[in-house]
Chain A
Amino acid sequence: MVSSQIESRIRASNTLQFSTLVCFLAVSVVSSTAHAHGTVGKRFFPTTFAIEDPFVSDEFSLLFGFIEEPAEGGEPAVNESELEIEFSKRITDRFAISFGGALVHLDPDGTSSNTGFRNIEFGIRQQVLTLPDWESVATLQLGFELGDSGNRDVEAESFSIISPGLFYGIGAGRLPESVSILRPFALSGFVNADIPTEKRSAGEKTSVSVSWGFALQYSFEYLQTNVMDFGIPSPLDRFVAIVEFDLQDCVRRCGGAGTSGSVNPGLIWLGDSFELGLSARIPINDASGDDPGVFALLHFFVDDIFPNSLGRPIFHSEPTR
């Protein structure tokens, strides 16, 4: 008994030492070349709250969201807290895979609360357009939510969902000199279909929906370095002001469901290897919620932290730009 405990401790200690060694090897590899995340020409597109990146990258993201879902069809209103985790890895310079999940806490009015995981999500992404001079980028994505991989208590569906989508970003850097103060603006957006693999589940029809939206952003760093240096001191010069419009429309087997979504005004702060964000989450109509919620984002640029190991495409072929 004692000997097995000792063995177990030694094993645990060896595992930790091994991970320490791996970690140090990862950060100690000699530097070479790799692409920076989210940079197209002189434009940097930050990761935003509800709208996926329009580019491929190596990144690790934590997004906390809170909103009060309204009462619907005899069901009580629910306070919903969610922590989404997503990891994305580039296979080539323009192709990436991702996987993610979410831990959810549902607190309905008048009944007991539930905590559990939503279904696991996978995705493949291909960056199909990159125009540095136009600060423009576009990416195609095929997402897959694995049915029955989460907890039913938090409304994880029993069926899978396939989600093809297009994500884009464009900067305003080519606006004429007379309106140069507007050049720090950029627009990113997406359109995405959510198609269930089954037409019915638990006796009810499963709906097909389209998600779409855009984010209007203004970068103070871009303003300072590329347009007009107003002397904004650090770290205030690293803020990006943003307003997201995140919408969903049911298109087939809707059962009365219409458009829902939120407007998310917030601020993002860009560090050297991570970003922080905070935004309000304002429902656009009664079907989307009663009161404003919140998003909080902590996002790591894995390609900056481990540029020559974990943060580098597995098959790196393109010359650096």
Chain B
Amino acid sequence: MFAIEASGVTKVYRRFSNRRQFATLKSALLRGTVFRDLHPAGTFAAVRDVSFKVPQGTTYGIIGRNGSGKSTMLKLVAGITKPTEGTVRVNGRISALIELGAGFHPEISGRENIFINGIMLGLSKREIARRFDEIVEFAELRDFIDAPVKTYSSGMYVRLGFAVAINVDPDVLLVDEVLAVGDEAFTHKCLDKFAEFRRRGKTILLVTHALNLVEKFCDDVLWLDGGGIRGEGDPRRVVSEYITDVAKAEEKDLAARDARERERVSQSVPTAGPAGDAAGAPPEPPADMFKAGEGRWGSREVEIVDVRILGADGAPRHVCQSGEPATIEMTVRARQPIEAVVFGVSMFNADGVCCYGTNTDIEDLEVAGFSGEQKVTFRIKSLDMVEGTYKLDVAAHRVDGYPYDYHRQLYSFRVMSNAKDIGIYRPPHTWEFSAGIGARGRTIEN
């Protein structure tokens, strides 16, 4: 027995062009297009040929990036919009936690709103009266229930909406990213309520970006991408495929951003004459180097022509896994033989905090002079950093600090991690317990 059956569902929205957006009765009459204007012209498929079945009593997750059609799918299941093609069948009473408190009237009290909202969601007056105390209790609004809803804070508003919707006692519960409301305690209460629903054999359709929730709660997962199905099935497998895909997209995004940044810098800083021509005044380094934003300066007697971040497999990337090896590879060029040179690297987190910085001089490496194009490689055995986006400085300068080429935060990379630990540095570690403490779960093996 299936609680939800969607087969071949396609939802096409009208795409508004400028002209059509301001379509008015007058212009429609003048052009004689009254009835044509009631039909879509330019279209856009938000959901494309999606089929899935949700067995009764299971929890089904829908994941996907922004704009992938998740919410549209949920609205189709809820019956709020009708599919352009295909059918959606739902067995049993639906309650949709989509827009909480969407039918509240601000001028009247919470008490009256509970009744009206409940009736809208399909309860009778008597049923609401019976559940009234439970609803108020759940929303934690006992003291304010007779105040007009317009005086509520946004949190109170949403809590009340949630409390009413969840007490409708539906057979099928549709949840759209609503667990973000309320404090920790309220979120736990909501999760408990979901667990109770599951125990009682109700069906839940969950749309969320909280992947850990999906892994923990869902029996099956549907991954939507661009309106179509990308994957379906076991949560762990689908979620990990999804994460890989997101990382790839992020990779592309970071690469594009870096390219734009370098483009901007190379335009604003004219290259300093032919190499060695000291007359071509090198762009001045900023007064306080550590407060400077993105930029590039130096005389370019030694030029860093390319910087690449390589993963464990030696392929260039912008997204790395925490704890895995990483390599920063610089291609440098000296147009004329150069004497001693110092190479440096440092990394900054999103707050601009320097997580690590070093150079060959600090580490007592004497780099002999060179000429032509060469490669400098900075190898990190294990990238022990917490999850986040980092920016990279690379530099070539003289031992006395005179800059040849300084690239300030022109490169970024993202570190991904399974653990959501905090800070800026993750020392390789393990947890150990004496025999008296039992412990289960993943542990970070470093």
Whether A and B are associated in the same complex: the answer reads no
Interface residues in chain B, defined as those with a beta carbon under 8 Å from any beta carbon in chain A: none
